[in-house]
Amino acid sequence: MARPEPADQPTFDAELFRLLAEHVPEVAVFTADEDGRVRTWNRGAERLFGYCNDEVIGQPVDRFFVPEDAKHDLPHREMRRALDAGRAEADRWQVRRDGSRFWAACLLTPQRDEAGQLRGFAIVIRDIGERSRTESHRNARLAVTQVLAAAGSIQEAAPDVLRAVCETLGWDAGLFWILDGPAGVLRCLDGSHSSTVIVAEFEATSRGRTFRPRISRGPPSLPGKGCTAPSPAPYPSATKSIA
């Protein structure tokens, strides 16, 4: 019987990869060829990205990257880095079939046969968005606590509180609302925004507005909802929260 060529013999790493792909459905585990085109696709990848097997086999991995990363050739740069270092790891945004994004931990390793010839890349991707959000909220709470401990009043603390929250949570802009007790309304005390957005008119308009905790007709305003909520809670989508 003829002995199989080395390229036909699976390595120990390849067997581990196969087991991972078959038995860990909550993680995207797939392979790509030397040019970065998808070769295999597991159930975890289908669940995470939304593509079925027939839709994605033979397609470039670029489609999983956000446009700004794909534009700068990040997929192929990572493959070259994996070839140089033996692996490439990164936390970054990935794109699902429906266009939504999720924060992911990505691992890319070259696949070689026993002769050392490159056969492609093994790719493992995990959604770590919830872990990242939890860490960000914890850092924001710590930053706000430190600001409040050093401030003499809430008015004095407002600018630094906003800055700390916006920076740790990655917000483009934020407003600080306080309850005006005697008037029984909410007033915008301060605003903060990053240098990449232009919201001067929005901030000026907000500073000139007041809201009651609840509106008698129709749904309550977003600041009103925050005021009457039994405990502090973030609103992931302002438009959905108002609707």
Decide which of 180 and 230 is more confident: 180
Q: What is the pLDDT of residue 122?
A: 93
C-alpha pair distances (Å), 57 with each of 30, 31, 77: 10, 10, 21
Determine whether domain 8-127 maps to CATH 3.30.450.20: yes
Tokens of residue 217, six digits: 């007709």
Q: What is the pLDDT of residue 243?
A: 43
Alpha helices in the chain (DSSP H): 12-23, 43-49, 53-56, 67-71, 74-85, 129-150, 154-169, 200-207, 222-228, 238-242
Q: Is the pTM of this model over 0.85?
A: no
Segment among 21-25, 51-55, 197-201 with least mean pLDDT: 21-25
Tokens 């609103």 locate to 235
Residue spans per domain, the chain = 8-127, 132-242
Task: Provide the pLDDT confidence category of residue 37 given band limits of 50, 70 and 90.
Answer: very high
Backbone angles phi, psi at 88, to 5 degrees: -140, 125
